[in-house]
Chain A
Amino acid sequence: MGTKDTIYEGLFNYGITRRDFMKFCTTMSATLALSSTSIPKIAEALQQKKKPYAVWLHFQECTGDTESLLRATKPSIAQIVLDIISLEYHETIMAGSGHSAEKALHDVVKNQKGKYFALVEGSIPTKDGGIYCVIAGKTAVEIAKEVCGNALVTINVGSCSCWGGIGSAKPNPTGATGTASVVPGIKYINLPGCPANAENITATIVHYLTFGTLPALDRYNRPLFAYGKRIHDNCERRPHFDAGQFVRKWGDEGHRLGWCLYEMGCKGPMAYQNCPTVKWNDGISYPIQSGHPCFACASNDSWDVFGPIYNRAPHVPGASYQATADKIGAAVVAGTAAAVATHAVIRTFLGYKQKERFSKEKNEADKMK
């Protein structure tokens, strides 16, 4: 599979230095949770492998996943992504329109059958004959069957193409669903998120190019390197959860101090993704860090199962101490009350002692008169 140039040659022509390339390989190795011994393997694979063909399909989407990919910069990942693959069809960024765009897509499907990556963004409507998403006169169902059905592997980018996402939120007006349920039997990987994280997209492709296989997957076909841990596990506000320090109201003292957002509806304890470590916008921040609860965007049916977003989740599964936040909160309140009571006792006692001392001193003074 692949074009004339190797990936490294492509990157070199693009002005990526050897140093940047090795930094990229290191980042990829870290994102994939591999040991440092795999860095040379990744570098070697990317230097020898030809750029694989890829097409990016848009169905019922908002282009947020494309934006996520194009806005990434570490180190120039957008350039690298666009250069480690030969992206033959991508409606948002391709020059051709209409017939010429369609020709580019069909050329890949015909000439590279079984050898190209199909990246899919957006859900596929199945109601009313699939008329709610039609491109060049073909329904999304027809396009997915043709393009994903003939691909080497389908990469579902974002929650919509994984299982329907926002389009499938109740009452699911268009019968929106994910790629795998429309084209059963395909080899696919889910990279959910709203949007999906660009580093995870790139790391998945790099893993395939280096090892020739998809990374280890969970039961939702999500790669474990990115979705193996809960947001809660690596959340920088976790010590506040453990200490029972919760934001109770937007803008309260706890919110200003960066306390835990669990009481404000944070679904971090149920959400699986690597946001706290990989972060967004070149590793600057992610929702919880900026003071907003996580709403489990990478979970199936997050809009209905985990909503309403600002309602507190009923309990935290898998907490090591098996206690709910309320219990912890109550314990803290009780502790505080006990401390206040103790303090009062001490004060009273001291007051008594003080009075005693004063009266003694007064007696002494009286005697001296």
Chain B
Amino acid sequence: MPKIVVDPITRIEGHLRIEAIIEGGKIADAWSSGTMWRGIENIVKGRDPREVWLFVSRICGV
């Protein structure tokens, strides 16, 4: 079973990896993975709620 890996996927924000299994010229199965993590959910824990928007708005700057 041939496998296609496209990493990095460009023209998007963030880091994405696509893996696909090809069977008879068709995609039989596929996986996508976000390959970057900062843990902003953990960073905002216990902070002043008024400033959390400034953190979470930086999850994506686009």
Contact = CB atoms under 8 A, between A and B. Distances in A.
Interface of A: 58-67, 91-98, 101-102, 123, 125, 132-137, 166-167, 169-174, 176, 194-195, 295, 303, 307-311
Interface of chain B, helix or strand or loop or mixed?
loop
Interface of B: 5-15, 35-40, 42-43, 47-48, 50-51, 54-55, 58-62
A131 to B, nearest CB: 9
Contacts of B10: 91-97, 101
Contacts of A67: 61-62
Given A92-B10, A136-B7, A174-B39, A308 B59 contact: no
Q: Which of B10, B38, B40, B43 has the most CB of A within 10 A?
A: B38
A61 B12 CA distance: 12
26 contacts: A61-B61, A62-B60, A63-B13, A63-B14, A67-B61, A91-B12, A92-B11, A92-B12, A92-B13, A95-B11, A98-B6, A101-B8, A101-B10, A125-B38, A133-B15, A170-B43, A172-B43, A174-B39, A194-B58, A303-B43, A307-B47, A307-B48, A308-B47, A308-B50, A309-B50, A310-B50
Given A166-B40, A310-B50, A98 B14 contact: no
A135 B7 contact: yes
A67 B53 CA distance: 19
Interface of chain A, helix or strand or loop or mixed?
loop
A101 B15 CA distance: 13
B56 to A, nearest CB: 10
Given A64-B61, A134-B35, A97 B50 contact: no
